[in-house]
Amino acid sequence: MNKWHNPYRPVRTQVLDSVVETPRIKTLRLRPEEPIVFEAGQFVELTLPGFGEAPFTPSSRPSTHDELFLTVMKVGKVTDAVHRLEKGDTVGLRGPLGKGYPIESFKGREVLVVGGGCGFAPLRSLMYALMERSEDFKKLIFRGGCRTPADMVYREELASWAEREDLDIKLTVDVGDPSWKGHVGTVTTLLDGAGLDSADGIAIVCGPPTMMKFVTAQLVKMGFADDNIYLSMERNMSCGIGKCGHCRLGIYYVCKDGPVFPYGKVKGFPDLWA
Ligand SMILES: Cc1cc2nc3c(=O)[nH]c(=O)nc-3n(C[C@H](O)[C@H](O)[C@H](O)COP(=O)(O)OP(=O)(O)OC[C@H]3O[C@@H](n4cnc5c(N)ncnc54)[C@H](O)[C@@H]3O)c2cc1C
Ligand code: FES
């Protein structure tokens, strides 16, 4: 970043197309006029003229620089407008912002990734980054849980991951349906007696706050060290660059100091799971 770089200036970005993942979740394929080179876990601010800005973690390959995917759940004003975007529309992107996962420090260790709900979106880019260099890790494990089969994003892609020899993947739903032949139960039930390396392994957790709270408690009970558990935190954001204070979490700004934090750094903050 040179000294004239303006962190508030969005890069003009074209919507190339979009995929409907579930009735409330859509993935956009975007082409920024200037490449946005991000690390897994970092986020961008998406600007929709006339509606506002909102933060999203790219769900695409960090090693692909000319296109970027965002997987967006419809929850309010901006995300509603995101779901109405069409091929050829122009939006703005600011970023990359925040700190991503310290993947280098995971070398030689077992890496367990646990995702819930729309938490699969940021984890897809992390999984791409990990799988591109899977020989660097002792073992790669993915455990994912959704409310129902209809809520599961990237279903076909997840099925193709199950074919990989370098990944141990298990998925579950809270409530099954006739199409679902897999495990039924919360994602914590997939962690029971799973033979994980809790002594030296890394665990990464991303999903709705309640899911993160219970998964983290279970990992601690299993023996994972607080600093070996990485959480991806979400807070309401405005500037995205540590100036406005909207995203405060204890002594940190989630936008600048996170959004990825070792649990040991944020443990005990009263609003941690808000
Ligand atoms: C670092 C980061 C990465 C994110 N990545 C993704 C992603 O990949 N995909 C995705 O779908 N969403 C992601 N989010 C959440 C997304 O930013 C919010 O859903 C979005 O800002 C809501 O905007 P809105 O105008 O549509 O909703 P609003 O009209 O502002 O609010 C609708 C509801 O959502 C709540 N809300 C708003 N913003 C947030 C927030 N940041 N966290 C929790 N609750 C919020 C409000 O309190 C309200 O209840 C991320 C958030 C952060 C901070
Ligand atoms: S969003 Fe402004 S300080 Fe984090």
Domain ranges of the chain: 11-97, 103-232
Domain 103-232 top-level CATH class:
alpha beta
> Which ligand 2 atom minimizes the distance to the CA of 238?
1
- Is 42's C-beta closer than 6 angstroms to any atom of ligand 1? no
Q: What does the block give as tokens for 152? A: 């599961």
Q: What does the block give as tokens for 24? A: 């409330």
d(CA 44, CA 55): 6
Tell me the CA–centroid distance for residue 57 and ligand 1, in Å: 11
**Which one of 44, 68, 75 would you pick to mutate in the ligand 1 pocket, going by the greatest count of ligand atoms within 8 A of its CB?**
75
Tell me the CA–centroid distance for residue 73 and ligand 1, in Å: 8
Q: From residue 255, how far is each of 45, 49, 61, 247 by CA, in Å?
A: 10, 22, 21, 7
pTM recorded for the entire structure: 0.94
Report helix, strand or coil for 150: helix
Tell me the CA–centroid distance for residue 272 and ligand 2, in Å: 16
Ligand positioned closest to the Cα atom of 235: 1
The pLDDT, as a whole number, for residue 20 is: 94
The pLDDT, as a whole number, for residue 202 is: 97
Burial (0-12, 13-18, 19+ Cβ within 10 Å), 95: buried
**Which one of 38, 39, 153, 234 would you pick to mutate in the ligand 1 pocket, going by the greatest count of ligand atoms within 8 A of its CB?**
234
Tell me the CA–centroid distance for residue 9 and ligand 1, in Å: 21
d(CA 132, CA 64): 12
CB 204 within 8 A of CB 216: no
Ligand positioned closest to the Cα atom of 123: 1
> Which ligand 1 atom minimizes the distance to the CA of 98?
1
> Which amino acid, one-letter code, is at 113?
V
CB 241 within 8 A of CB 94: no
> Which ligand 1 atom minimizes the distance to the CA of 121?
8
d(CA 48, CA 37): 21
d(CA 109, CA 111): 6
> Which ligand 2 atom minimizes the distance to the CA of 243?
3
The pLDDT, as a whole number, for residue 93 is: 97
- Is 235's C-beta closer than 6 angstroms to any atom of ligand 1? yes
The pLDDT, as a whole number, for residue 69 is: 97
d(CA 13, CA 6): 17
d(CA 48, CA 53): 6
Q: Judging by DSSP bridges, how do beta strands 25-32 and 68-73 pair with one another?
A: antiparallel
| CATH fold of 11-97 | Elongation Factor Tu (Ef-tu); domain 3 (2.40.30)
Tell me the CA–centroid distance for residue 132 and ligand 1, in Å: 29
d(CA 46, CA 25): 16
d(CA 133, CA 129): 7
The pLDDT, as a whole number, for residue 198 is: 86
Bridge-partner residues for 114, per DSSP? 143, 205
> Which ligand 2 atom minimizes the distance to the CA of 254?
4
Please tell me the residue having the least CA distance from ligand 1 atom 28: 76
The pLDDT, as a whole number, for residue 118 is: 65
Bridge-partner residues for 145, per DSSP? 116, 172
The pLDDT, as a whole number, for residue 194 is: 66
Distance in angstroms between the alpha carbons of the first and the last residue of the chain: 33
- Is 58's C-beta closer than 6 angstroms to any atom of ligand 1? no
The pLDDT, as a whole number, for residue 196 is: 86
CB 44 within 8 A of CB 97: yes
* Digitized pLDDT (tens) for each residue of the chain, 274 residues in all: 555 678 888 999 999 999 999 989 999 999 999 999 999 999 999 999 999 999 999 999 999 999 999 999 999 999 999 999 999 999 999 999 999 999 999 999 999 999 987 668 889 999 999 999 999 999 999 999 999 998 999 988 999 999 999 999 999 999 999 989 999 999 999 997 668 888 999 999 999 999 999 999 999 999 999 999 999 999 989 999 999 999 999 999 999 999 999 999 999 998 899 8
